[in-house]
Amino acid sequence: MISYIKGILEDMSPGMVVVDNHGIGYQMMVPMRGESFPKIGQEIKIYTHMHVREDDVSLFGFLSKEEKEAFELLIGVNGIGPKVGLSVLSTLSVYELKMAVISEDVKTISKTPGLGPKGAKKLILELKDKLSFEELEEDGVGAEIFDTSADSSDSVMITIEGLVSLGYSKSEAAIAVNKVEDAKDLTPEELLKKALKNIMI
């Protein structure tokens, strides 16, 4: 099993990279959120997942272990193959995926090409107990925003509900609020203004 490949980025096109490692070019399918990839000719380390079928052996590459682990959880969902798993990670970052799953945001996950609302609901159901939400809990706002026992008068909750009423999904609203420093100390009006600026960026 190949855990990762470290070498020179030899070629790159949407959804695919070739990494040269000691004269061998490894072609890998990658999420199309390629803004973090280095330039061609630079060194790169890619975490890999080898997918083996009767008629095909494919290599999938990811810039972080977290992204690779999320991919492996995605393809473990019945009915979701590697192409759809890659499509999910091309549409959403791991953080956005976790926020969408924990908030049961079918609308956001359904934006993934090849995955409709039914598939999104199934994905949420199966991943809710498998994904790690530790970093969300460590956030200034974190997973507590989805706690049904939370005080509904809390400015964070009011702001999220306000953004949802404006047409944003719950996870979009939560991510925008999470980006605001000292969100809990602001009034709903102040927090809403700052959160809206984050969405507009």
pLDDT tens sequence across 52-70: 888 888 999 999 999 999 9
The DSSP code sequence of 56-113 is EEEEEEESSHHHHHHHHHHHTSTT--HHHHHHHHHHS-HHHHHHHHHTT-HHHHTTST
Domain locations in the chain as residue ranges: 4-63, 65-132, 140-201
CATH code for the part of the protein at 65-132: 1.10.150.20
Mean pLDDT of 180-186: 80
The answer to whether 101 touches 127, Cβ cutoff 8 Å, is yes
Residue with tokens 């602001």: 186
Would you tell me which CATH number, out of the four given (2.60.120.560, 2.40.30.10, 1.10.3720.10, 2.40.50.140), belongs to the domain 4-63?
2.40.50.140
Domain pair 4-63 / 65-132, same fold: no
Please state, in angstroms and as integers, the Cα–Cα distance from residue 127 to each residue in 30, 121, 181, following that order. Answer: 21, 10, 29
Stated pTM of the model: 0.74
Look-up of token digits 């079918």: 106
- What's the pLDDT at 37? 87
Q: How confident is the model at residue 72 (pLDDT cuts 50, 70, 90)?
A: very high
Residue 188 in this model has a pLDDT that exceeds 70 = yes
